[in-house]
Chains A and B, each alone.
Chain A
Amino acid sequence: MIFDLLLAAALLWSAVQALTTPDLFRAVVLFIVFGLLMALAWARLDAPDIALAEAAIGAGLSGALLLDAVGHLRQKRRERSP
C-alpha cells in the first residue's frame, strides 16, 4: 500500500516534470522515466502483459521516437544559427 502511494506520487511528479521542464531533452528523458514507472504500476495491478507492452512500446519505442525528434530539432537549430 505504501509502495503504491509512493509509486503514484512518483508517477504524478514525473508527468508534471515531463510536461513543464524547460529543456526538451530533459522532458523526454523524464517521459521515458514516466513510462517505466507506468510499467511498474501495471505490474502492481496484476497486468504483466501491459507492463511488458508499456516498457517496450510506451517507454521504449515512444522514447526512441521522441529522442530522435529532439535530436532532429537541435540539429535544425544548429543549422539556422551557426
Chain B
Amino acid sequence: MNAPLIYALTGAALFVFGVTGLMLQAHLLRKILAFNVMGSGIFLVLVGLAQRTGIPDPVPQAMVLTGIVVAIAATALALALARQLLDQSGEMRLPEEEAGKDKLDV
C-alpha cells in the first residue's frame, strides 16, 4: 500500500458516500453537495489508480481538470433549477407526487 492507493481507496469511499447521499437525501442542495462529493471520489480513483506505481501521469490529471470544469457547470445549472423550484413551490426538494404517478391504480 502506497500513498496513491490510499487516495484511490478514499476516492472509492467518497464515491459511495456521494451516491448514497444523492439517492437518499431529499433536499436539493444536499443532493448537489453529494454529487460533488461523488465526483471528487471518482477523480481520486482515476488519478490514484493511474499513479499507483508512484510515477505522476499527466493524462488522468488533464482528465480530472476537464472533470472539475464539467462538475462546476453541472453544479451551477442544478443550483439555477433548484432556485426556480424554490421560487415556484417554496421548497427546495422534488415533489413526491410525480414519482407517485408511476402506479397502476391511478
Contacts and interface: CB of A to CB of B under 8 A. Distances in A.
Interface in B12-30: 13-14, 17-18, 21, 25, 27, 29-30
Contact of A50 (B14, B65, B79): B65
Contact of A69 (B4, B18, B40, B83): B83
> What range describes how many residues of A lie at the interface?
35 or more
Q: Is the interface of A mostly helix, strand, loop or mixed?
A: helix
A69 B44 CA distance: 27
Interface string B55-80: 01000010011001101100110010
Interface of A: 1, 4-5, 8, 11-12, 15-16, 18-19, 24, 27-28, 31, 34, 38, 41-42, 44-47, 49-50, 53-54, 57-58, 61-62, 65-66, 69-70, 72-73, 76, 80
